[in-house]
Amino acid sequence: MNITELARTLRISPQELKDLLPQLGFNIGQRAIKVDNNTAKKIIKNWQVLKHQLDIKKAALTQKLKEEDAKREKKVVFVPHALSVRDFAEISQVPVNKVLAELMKNGVFASINEKIDFDTAMIIGGDLFLDVQPKVGEDETIDEKNKLADILGKEETGNLLERPPVIVVMGHVDHGKTKLLDSIRQANVVAGEAGGITQHIGAYQVTRKEKVLTFIDTPGHEAFTAMRSRGAKVADIAILVVAADDGVKPQTVEAFRIIEAAKIPYVVAINKIDKEDADLDRTKQELATQLNITPEDWGGKTICVPISAKEGTGIENLLDMLLLVSEAELGDSLKANPGASAAGTVVESNVDKTAGPVATILIQNGTLFLGDQLCFNGVIYGKVKALKNYKGENIEAAGPSTPVKILGLKLSPAVGDILETGEGVKIKMRNMRPSASAGPVISDNANDENVPKVNLVIKADFLGSAEAIEESLLKINTEKVKAKIISKGLGNITEGDVKRAEDSGALLVGFNIRLTPQIENLIRERGVKVKTFSVIYDLIKFVKGEMQLLIKPEINRIDEGRIKILAIFRTEPRAQIVGGKVLDGRALIDTLIEVMRGDDMVALGKLTQLQSGKQNVKEVEKDLECGLRFEGNPIIEEGDILKMYREEKIIDKL
């Protein structure tokens, strides 16, 4: 059985299988292409037991390492709200390459001179055994998280009223986050969205037992900053979604790291329990071994709720658990002053072709009214001309913990900005801060120069769409071929995008955007390949097809048998007719031939005709004599051995 087929049967990658088998007592070697059927049957039959034993060993080792780490004292380092990778390495006295490796492991691809924010430094610092603390001095500005804390801290206790908890849904890209929200809202949003994947950020409210809950969806994330701004920074509680049929994935780990760094309570939703291959115990085992999450029914403190977002199973229980966590762990902290000036965090930002800059804001204090003027860092961003709730309905005011879409802005805010109502100063458009709609991306998920790549320039309608696309592309990247995003942005394709694609030899891919006649003419002139899509699945399928073209097939040699030459009947300029006896295996027509004289290979050729008893045949078995036509360099002599083999092309499908 091919290793790839065996790996597919066991639902792991071929490389993972090769790494695991020696630990399970099967030493097949790292270069093995096939494994004999008996061994394969043993592996398949005992896989679950063997894997379980290995998981127990890993869990014990992980616990031992954690106990050892707990005894070590973390080094305290103080860093500003933003600094370069090089500066972080110098401050922490950690080699730059180690810092870069830790960033890459956590999905952030940056050079040594690029900036990272404090939260990112704190997350990777934890992995480097550092206690990263904020440095605030005369030359340091207070970051936006502290800014919001300042705004809320000014309120008098008597003015504070209870507000709904804000809940963020995090997890792997296809583990059912959006379907869960859909099930919670009992409105079929997914079916109405092209491709069944979140096209842009969603923020929604539901009522359970006369209590309002606000949910924020994270459809995909390009880097830690955007995800935190959209999720953990504005959330009170997190739901970590894990699929019961797929278990813990790298993005599950990444989401959990963010939840831990934000220090917010969380509930684990184990989704897709309706599927045939769902395995709750295996999923909980992975949570315990990989994330150190011990479920309540295993004697731990973490609430794990089995659900099926598709069937609606367990949703009410999940909502009840969220209310329980809200009351038990947050209590009186869920308060705000609805009578104050409004302040809130931007959770989505895009430029609408008719309405201009549009932002989705989660109000965190005060009440926002129609006509209010919004500012960021003292700069006027515009007046509220329209307010829309999560249903798309026009409303006149929005209080604390309410998500609302705002129209009427003159400038485009960035995700994570804290907007406030009040007076400010106007700025000229040429001084406008860059929006999320343009510019090259920092992340390069294809650093290995030896790996073939499909270069891409991506333009999308919403930031969430661009993030969902990028996350889906990361998922299909392999060690053999990668999709490299040269640039991504929001809005229609521009002349700059065309030039960038031309200069880098990239494919220009658009999602939910249109091509103007001028741009279409420019594309034809420059010979740039452009494709537009309205369904993310179709976009990913197209890129996958382009990547597949770059994968070189592996050649697998299959030995068929050996013939000892007993007679030479005829010699031609490029062929010979010879006779011999099959020593082992079989003689097979149309096989390739190595002519061996002693230990030396003296010629290569092909067996094009085969006879047994003067009859043309397709194969001759062991110990039988045959005649054959050899096409190749005609130097075969009596006593030579012909090694017959076939070459099988193995194409690694994405």
Instruction: Quick: pLDDT tens for 173-197.
Output: 678 877 888 888 774 344 444 444 3
Please name the helix (run of DSSP H) or strand (run of DSSP E) that holds residue 611, with its range, or none: strand 600-612
Residues 51-84: pLDDT tens digits? 777 777 777 777 776 666 666 667 888 888 777 7
Q: For the chain, percent helix, then strand, then coil, each to nearest 5?
A: 35, 35, 35
Is 302 part of any domain? Answer: yes
Residue with tokens 């309570």: 265
Nearest C-alpha neighbor of 110 from the set 434, 416, 445, 449: 445
Asked if residue 89 and residue 19 are part of one domain, the reply reads no
- Contacts for 301 with CB less than 8 Å, ≥ 6 apart: 294
Q: Can you give the pLDDT at residue 195?
A: 41
- Domain end marker among 524, 548, 572: 548
Number of domains present in the structure of the chain: 6
CA angle 397, 401, 407 (to 5 degrees): 45
Distance of alpha carbon 353 from alpha carbon 491, whole angstroms: 8
- Domain end marker among 52, 71, 90: 71
Asked if residue 310 and residue 202 are part of one domain, the reply reads yes
Is 562 part of any domain? Answer: yes
Please name the helix (run of DSSP H) or strand (run of DSSP E) that holds residue 632, with its range, or none: strand 625-632
Asked if residue 79 and residue 67 are part of one domain, the reply reads no
- Contacts for 342 with CB less than 8 Å, ≥ 6 apart: 363, 365, 366, 367, 368, 369, 372, 398, 420, 421
The pLDDT of residue 222 is above 60:
no
Asked if residue 527 and residue 625 are part of one domain, the reply reads no
Q: Can you give the pLDDT at residue 152?
A: 55
Please give the average per-residue pLDDT across 87-97, as a whole number: 85
62, burial (CB in 10 Å: exposed 0-12, middle 13-18, buried 19+): middle
Asked if residue 170 and residue 318 are part of one domain, the reply reads yes
Query: Helices (DSSP H) in 72-143: which residue ranges?
Result: 85-92, 96-105, 118-127
Residues 313-357: pLDDT tens digits? 999 999 999 999 999 888 778 888 898 889 988 887 777 766 778
Is 19 part of any domain? Answer: yes
Is 151 part of any domain? Answer: no
Is 414 part of any domain? Answer: yes
Residue ranges making up the domain that contains 602: 555-650
- Contacts for 462 with CB less than 8 Å, ≥ 6 apart: 199, 200, 201, 348, 350, 490, 512
DSSP tally for the chain: helices H, then strands E: 17, 33
Nearest C-alpha neighbor of 480 from the set 49, 99, 15, 94: 15
- Contacts for 635 with CB less than 8 Å, ≥ 6 apart: 595, 602, 603
Asked if residue 200 and residue 307 are part of one domain, the reply reads yes
pTM for this predicted structure: 0.52
The pLDDT of residue 154 is above 70:
no
Asked if residue 506 and residue 421 are part of one domain, the reply reads no
**Residue 165: CATH number of its domain:** 3.40.50.300
Is 441 part of any domain? Answer: no
Q: Can you give the pLDDT at residue 433?
A: 38
Q: Can you give the pLDDT at residue 68?
A: 67
Asked if residue 271 and residue 330 are part of one domain, the reply reads yes
Is 153 part of any domain? Answer: no
Candidate from 148-157, 439-448, 469-478 with smallest mean pLDDT: 439-448
Phi and psi based region of residue 378 (left: phi greater than 0; alpha: psi -120 to 50; beta: remaining): left
**Residue 529: CATH number of its domain:** 3.40.50.10050
Interhelix angle 177-185/315-325, rounded to 10 degrees, is 90
Asked if residue 237 and residue 383 are part of one domain, the reply reads no
Residues 345-380: pLDDT tens digits? 888 777 776 677 888 888 989 999 999 999 887 778
Q: Can you give the pLDDT at residue 202?
A: 61
Interhelix angle 118-127/96-105, rounded to 10 degrees, is 100
**Residue 612: CATH number of its domain:** 2.40.30.10
Asked if residue 257 and residue 199 are part of one domain, the reply reads yes
Asked if residue 310 and residue 226 are part of one domain, the reply reads yes
Asked if residue 172 and residue 307 are part of one domain, the reply reads yes
Contact by Cβ (8 Å): 461, 199: yes
Q: What is the DSSP string of 408-428?
A: EESS-PPTT-EEEES--B---
- Domain end marker among 16, 41, 71: 71
Q: Can you give the pLDDT at residue 546?
A: 92
Is 294 part of any domain? Answer: yes
CA–centroid distance for 535 within its chain: 18
